[in-house]
Amino acid sequence: MSSGSLAWMAERHPDAHFTIACGPACAPLFSAMPQLKTLIPLHKKPYHGHWLGLWKHTVGTAWQSVVDIRSSGLAYLLRSGERRIYRPQKHDTRPKAAQIATGLGIAPVPYGKIWFTEEHLRNAESLGRGELRRTVVLCPKANWVGKEWPVEHYAALGRQLHRDLGAVIAVLGTEAQAAAMEPIANALPKSSFLNLCGKTDLLTAAALLSQSMLFIGNDSGMMHLAAATGCPTLGLFGPTNDAVYGPWGKKTAVIRCPEPWDKLFDPKAKESLMSTLDVEDVYQSAMLLAG
């Protein structure tokens, strides 16, 4: 969600070199940025020790600009000609990408940007068997089961999209999630189903999404990745706020459960809270987005 702001700065400072510090899970997303000088995966440590480590790594440099989207205070401890600091506002209901961009003084709000190489693209084309342009990517998993649309619903949706669009249906996820995709596999001809769980790194997934017909998935990092690549992206929402966390991109849409998100939200939920989202409604939204 912050990648568009980074791209905005890179475009306006084409001769600059960027040092990027971020969580280890998303660090690979920046590894192919052409202007990258140093990538610092920030592993959390007790007593905020990771911030001390980052300070030691960066304090010896006189920076042209320091940009902080974590409101950490570190930006004030470094020598810099410019400081851009995003401070989240508790009741801000704008899209998160807009909150970050405007908080950094960036306007208009840019769309996301993911950099990948020709090798990533070749690997993606190979995984897609040369069929990416007619591939619909589904991502049934998320980091919390409460916001996962039931996989059986995905199976019914995939069957309809294959029937009416002639689409190849691919699924993305971790290797551990591969077996959970069996209901989708059973709903489709073998030649029209790709289980890519555990078979892509983040940038290969981004390259694959950039060439695909459509992405449909829960509120997740993969949904935001899809939107940032320019892939038409349909986000499925239930117990989380789609106004803030919906996909932000050139061609995106959201469909949610009939109930307000805060009425569905239950942090102790051990199963999907999204069963009231109708397959036919998602299908119609997907067809509209596929255009």
Q: Are residues 58 and 123 in the same domain?
A: no
pLDDT at 291: 85
4 has pLDDT over 90: yes
Alpha-carbon distance of 148 to 213, in angstroms, equals 22
For 33, the domain range is 3-103
Residues 153 and 189 in one domain: yes
> Domain end: 69, 103, 137, which one?
103
Inside any domain, residue 85: yes
| pLDDT per position as a tens digit, 74-88 | 999 999 999 999 999
Query: DSSP class of residue 195?
Result: E
* pLDDT number for residue 221: 96
Tell me, what CATH number does 134's domain have?
Answer: 3.40.50.2000
The reply to whether 223 and 128 lie within a common domain is: yes
The pLDDT value recorded for residue 240 is 98
What ranges in the chain are assigned the alpha helix state H?
A: 3-12, 49-58, 96-103, 118-127, 151-165, 182-186, 202-211, 221-228, 242-245, 261-264, 279-290
Q: How far is 236 from 191, CA to CA, in rounded Å?
A: 27
Where residue 71 falls (left for φ over 0; alpha for ψ -120 to 50; beta otherwise) is left
pLDDT digits (tens, 9 = 90+) for 34-81: 999 999 999 999 988 999 999 999 999 999 999 999 999 899 999 999
Q: Residue 125, Cβ neighbours under 10 Å: how many?
A: 15
Q: How confident is the model at residue 161 (pLDDT cuts 50, 70, 90)?
A: very high
pLDDT of residue 190: 96
Under the banding of pLDDT at 50, 70 and 90, the label for residue 158 is very high
